[in-house]
Chains A and B, each alone.
Chain A
Amino acid sequence: MSERLASRPRSRREPDRPRRVRIDPDWIRRNGVYVALALLLVINIAITDNFVSDATLRLQLIQVTPVLIVALGMALVIGTQGIDLSVGAVMALAAALIPLYIGYGTAVAITIAVLAGGISGALAGTLVARVGVQPIIATLGIMVAGRGVANLFGGEIKSIRDPGVVALGSGSLLGVPYVVVIAAVVAATTWFLVRRSTFGRQLVAIGGNKRAAELAGLPVRRVLLTTYVLCGLLAALAGVLLAARSQASDPTKVGLLVELSAITAVVLGGTPLSGGQVRIAGTIAGALLMQLITATLIFHDIPDSTAQIAQAVIVVAAVYVQLGRRKARS
Chain B
Amino acid sequence: MTTTVAGAPAGSGGGARVARLAQRQGALVILVAAVLAATFAFDSFGTAGNLENIALQASFLAVVALGMTFVIMSGGIDLSVGSVFALGGVLAAWGSRYGTLAALLVPLVVCGAIGLVQGLVIARGGLPPFIVTLAGLLFARGLLLLISDEGARTYKVPPDSAFRELAQGSLLGVGYPVWIVLAAFGLGGLVLHRSSYGSTVLAIGGQEDAADLMGLPVLRTKVIAYTTCGVLAGFGGLLMASYTSSGVTVLGVGMELEVISAVVLGGTLLTGGAGTVLGSLVGVLLLQVIRNVINQVGSLNSNWQAVISGAILLVVVTAQRWLAKVEGR
Task: Mark A residues whose CB is within 8 Å of B.
Answer: 83, 85, 127, 131-134, 136-138, 140-149, 151-152, 260, 263-264, 267, 273, 303-313, 315-316, 319-320, 323
Does chain A have a CB within 8 A of B261? Answer: yes
**Contact between A303 and B313 (Cβ–Cβ < 8 Å)?**
no
A263, closest chain B residue (CB): B134
Does chain A have a CB within 8 A of B98? Answer: no
Q: In the bound complex, how far is the Cα of B308 from the Cα of A263, in angstroms?
A: 26
Interface pairs A-B: 5 shortest CB-CB: A145-B310, A148-B306, A308-B142, A305-B145, A144-B310
**Contact between A144 and B142 (Cβ–Cβ < 8 Å)?**
no
**Contact between B304 and A152 (Cβ–Cβ < 8 Å)?**
yes
Q: Report, as a range, how many residues of chain B touch the other chain.
A: 35 or more
Choose one: B137, B142, B260; the contact of A140 (CB below 8 Å).
B260
Known interface pairs A127-B318, A133-B321. Does A148 touch B270 (Cβ–Cβ under 8 Å)? Answer: no
Q: In the bound complex, how far is the Cα of B304 from the Cα of A127, in angstroms?
A: 22
**Contact between A304 and B261 (Cβ–Cβ < 8 Å)?**
no
Does chain A have a CB within 8 A of B213? Answer: no
Choose one: A140, A273, A303, A305; the contact of B261 (CB below 8 Å).
A140
A251, closest chain B residue (CB): B303
Task: Mark B residues whose CB is within 8 Å of A.
Answer: 77, 121, 125-128, 130-132, 134-139, 141-146, 150-151, 257-258, 260-261, 264, 270-271, 301, 303-311, 313-314, 317-318, 321-322, 325
- Interface of chain A, helix or strand or loop or mixed? helix
**Contact between A312 and B138 (Cβ–Cβ < 8 Å)?**
yes
**Contact between B317 and A141 (Cβ–Cβ < 8 Å)?**
yes
**Contact between B270 and A264 (Cβ–Cβ < 8 Å)?**
no
CB distance from A301 to the nearest CB of B (A): 12
Q: In the bound complex, how far is the Cα of B130 from the Cα of A123, in angstroms?
A: 23
Q: In the bound complex, how far is the Cα of B303 from the Cα of A152, in angstroms?
A: 6
B-side contacts of A273, CB under 8 Å = 128, 130-131
Contacts A134-B317, A144-B258, A323-B127 supplied; 6 other A-B pairs, CB < 8 Å: A127-B318, A133-B317, A145-B310, A305-B145, A308-B138, A311-B138
Known interface pairs A85-B257, A312-B135, A315-B134. Does A137 touch B313 (Cβ–Cβ under 8 Å)? Answer: yes
**Contact between A148 and B305 (Cβ–Cβ < 8 Å)?**
yes
**Contact between A307 and B135 (Cβ–Cβ < 8 Å)?**
no
A-side contacts of B143, CB under 8 Å = 305, 309
Known interface pairs A131-B322, A133-B317, A323-B127. Does A306 touch B142 (Cβ–Cβ under 8 Å)? Answer: yes
